[in-house]
Structure 1
Amino acid sequence: MELVLSVDEIVETLKRSDLTTILVEGKDDIIVYRWIEEEIGILNVNFLPCGGRGKLLEVFERRNEFSSLKTIFVADKDTYVYINPPSNLEEIIWTNGYSIENDLYFGRQIENLLNRDEQEIFSTSLNSFIEYYSFEVQNLIEGNDYQLRNHPQNIVCKIQNKVKAEFLTDRNFIKAPKELENKIIENYDVLIRGKSLFALLTRILSHQNRDIKHSKMSLLEHCYKTHRSEKFIELIQKIRDKISA
């Protein structure tokens, strides 16, 4: 069980530390950072999960309280993938895509696990989800209420493999500008929230009628260990460069 520290406790821990510390979100993606930590294998570097993006940013804002310690902040770009991060956060190492899951997914090689029928189902569900998701991104851009965390498993019909009509009605769905939708279609491995993207894939690759079933964690491990993307390699290199700087 992951120990969750408060922002004050994290700051106090850093004040007393003499180890180079890499602060990560660590709520849902800590296992990936543990893999990176093991791979880097530097004994005088400590990975410290903050328990979420918000807490990491709060600690970052208080970094003057532990200025004598070498710290490196790594965070999911999140909605900054659609709008540029504020300039006062430029010291943070951001993922290339929406999240670290996106950097693992980048290049879409993991989709090779799908057979021909599954590829058709995935394409149908993905295109329908993108149409809906573009609407939420447009709301974000316009400063309106938006929801990017709706889980595909809850909103995609198991029979038609499309976002449920009643859900779209509840969200007062209207089609987003075609330019935005096309941008997300072309770059969905970067722009769709990584958890949603893996959920769309997992709902097919974990189907009860499938001989070989995959969980999200097994797919993440596949991405990390068997066909690492160029964007994930770039992320690890940025961390290495900061450590040695």
Structure 2
Amino acid sequence: MPLPRPTPDEVVSLLKRSSLPSIIVEGDDDVMIYRYIEEKIGTFNANIFPCGGRKALLSIFSRRNEFNALKTVFLADQDMWLFTTIPEEHSSIVWTTGYSIENDLFASSLELFEQLLTIPEKQEMLKIIHEISRWFAFEVELYRTDQEMNINFHINEVLSEDKKTLSSTFLKRRNFSEPSKETLAEVLEDYDLKVRGKILFDLLLYFLSSPKRRSKYSRDNLLEMCLKVGNGDPYIKRLIENINQTIA
């Protein structure tokens, strides 16, 4: 049973008592990526504090004057702000280049994925990405017009049973309408940075953990390979450089 996440008050209390440079991150879902960053931040010995999500991180950031003697870095996912703008008051946070830290890792590892996938798998995956991008662009347009959007779905919900098209049941549930050509093109142009990273990794795993494959991969396998073989170049490296500069 997982331990309960600390509240913003608890994190602020810990930071007040800490003397070690601290990197405050949203959560512990991507702990392997965070630990890699922790190992790569140069000569600085720093703690990583998962704080329980984006809302909690922004709350703690607004209270940073309470621990202003401590060297701190706030590292956060852009999320849907990627499609609008980051508020000026949050400009000193270190933001991912893409939608999430998973996107930065995924986009940094495209050459590695090219080697892992067969040619038919690559062709099929690109067709599915086009389908997913149609739905994702629809959600982007909802967000931009202040309507209720939701991208917290697994690909098994989004796609039809044969994984070739969007599920008609899902589209009906979402009251889907086709996005504009401009928004769809915007998402497709840099899909690796713009379509939610969790969805992209789930799609990649659909191919790389297929029952017909002799060699199968898990999510942790892929993350480790991306970090240790791909080295997170250029997007994860950019985060590390920005963290080092902020701590310094």
Q: Given the two structures, how large is their TM-score scaled by the length of structure 1?
A: 0.94
SS in 2 for 1:74: strand
Check the 8 A contact 1:19/1:69 in 2, yes or no: yes
Residue deviations 1:114-158, cap 9 Å, x none?
102211221221111111111111111111111111211222124
Give RMSD over aligned pairs: 1.6
Q: Does 1:129 align with 2:160?
A: no
Give, as a single letter, the amino acid of the residue that structure 2 aligns with 1:101.
E
Please list every run of 5 or more consecutive structure 2 residues that lacks an aligned counterpart in the other structure. none
How far apart, CA to CA, are the structure 1 residues paired with 2:198 and 2:113? 15
Q: In the TM superposition, what are the counterparts of 1:38-49 in structure 2 within 5 Å?
A: 38-40=39-41, 42=43, 44-49=45-50
Q: In the TM superposition, what are the counterparts of 1:3-152 in structure 2 within 5 Å?
A: 4-40=5-41, 42=43, 44-107=45-108, 108-112=110-114, 113-152=116-155
How far apart, CA to CA, are the structure 2 residues paired with 1:73 and 1:220? 22
Q: Does 1:166 align with 2:169?
A: yes
Find the counterpart in structure 1 of residue 238 from structure 2.
Answer: 234
How far apart, CA to CA, are the structure 1 residues paired with 2:39 and 2:52? 20
Give, as a single letter, the amino acid of the residue that structure 1 aligns with 2:25.
V
Identity over aligned pairs, percent: 38
Residue deviations 1:173-223, cap 9 Å, x none?
111110110111111011111111111111111111111111222112221
How far apart, CA to CA, are the structure 2 residues paired with 1:165 and 1:186? 25
Q: Given the two structures, how large is their TM-score scaled by the length of structure 2?
A: 0.93
Give, as a single letter, the amino acid of the residue that structure 1 aligns with 2:207.
I
SS in 2 for 1:106: helix
Find the counterpart in structure 2 of residue 181 from structure 1.
Answer: 184
How far apart, CA to CA, are the structure 1 residues paired with 2:137 and 2:44? 44
Measure how far apart 1:12 and its partner are.
Answer: 0.6
Measure how far apart 1:101 and its partner are.
Answer: 0.7
How far apart, CA to CA, are the structure 1 residues paired with 2:163 and 2:7? 44
Measure how far apart 1:4 and its partner are.
Answer: 2.2
How far apart, CA to CA, are the structure 2 residues paired with 1:139 and 1:34? 35
Check the 8 A contact 1:25/1:51 in 2, yes or no: yes
Give, as a single letter, the amino acid of the residue that structure 2 aligns with 1:233.
K
**Residue-pair matches, total:** 244
4+ residue runs over 4 A deviation: none
Find the counterpart in structure 1 of residue 224 from structure 2.
Answer: 221
